[in-house]
Every structure is written in structure tokens, then in C-alpha cells.
């Protein structure tokens, strides 16, 4: 039961991970990824954030990270795999 409970916030984070456009024109991106070791959180999570930012910015321009990625949640899936959810704010710079 404890393993399941620790994964509950991650399931909700993944479900609500749609990009959120902010008033200043930047966008808050969140990504949930599976990792095998805790020290992979920012490397693998950062790559996922960058990929989502590229997709989200699309024709608006090249994504540029405005702040450092933040670790929002860390836990395990019901299958016992380690997961992390990170978020960061990006600007879409016109080229």
C-alpha cells in the first residue's frame, strides 16, 4: 500500500502535465519520467522538459529555459519503478 500511495501524486502530476501558458508569455512545462537511479532525475527529466518545450513552442520560436528545473515529486509506480516529476518555465524566442 505504501508503494502505491507514494506513486499517487506522480499519477496526478502526469495526468495534469499539460503546458500552462503564463501571463508574461512564458510557459510552464512539467514532465514525469521513469529513472533507475536518483542521480538521473535532472539529466533524464531535463531532456524530457526540453523535448516538451520544443513541441510546445512549435512555430512560436525556439524554447529557452527561463529558470532551473524543479523537482516536484519523486516516488515509485505501483510496479515498483522509480519516477520523478520536474517542471521549468520556458520562453519561446522568435528566430
Model pLDDT for residues 29-82, shown as the tens digit of each residue: 999 999 999 999 999 999 999 999 999 999 999 999 999 999 999 999 999 999
Which H helix or E strand runs over 20?
strand 20-21
pLDDT of residue 16: 41
Using an 8 Å Cβ cutoff, are 27 and 92 in contact? yes
Q: Mention every residue, 6+ apart, whose C-beta is less than 8 A from residue 91.
A: 25, 26, 27, 63, 64, 66
If DSSP codes are grouped into helix, strand and coil, which group holds residue 13?
helix
pTM of the model: 0.80
Q: Cα separation of 40 and 26, whole Å?
A: 26
Amino acid at each position: 500500500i505504501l508503494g502505491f500511495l507514494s506513486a499517487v501524486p506522480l499519477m496526478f502530476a502526469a495526468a495534469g502535465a499539460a503546458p500552462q501558458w503564463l501571463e508574461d508569455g512564458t510557459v510552464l512545462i512539467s514532465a514525469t519520467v521513469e529513472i533507475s537511479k536518483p542521480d538521473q532525475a535532472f539529466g533524464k527529466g531535463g531532456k524530457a522538459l526540453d523535448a516538451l518545450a520544443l513541441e510546445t513552442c512549435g512555430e512560436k520560436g525556439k524554447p529557452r529555459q527561463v529558470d532551473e528545473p524543479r523537482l516536484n515529486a519523486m516516488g515509485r509506480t505501483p510496479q515498483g519503478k522509480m519516477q520523478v516529476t520536474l517542471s521549468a518555465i520556458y520562453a519561446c524566442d522568435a528566430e
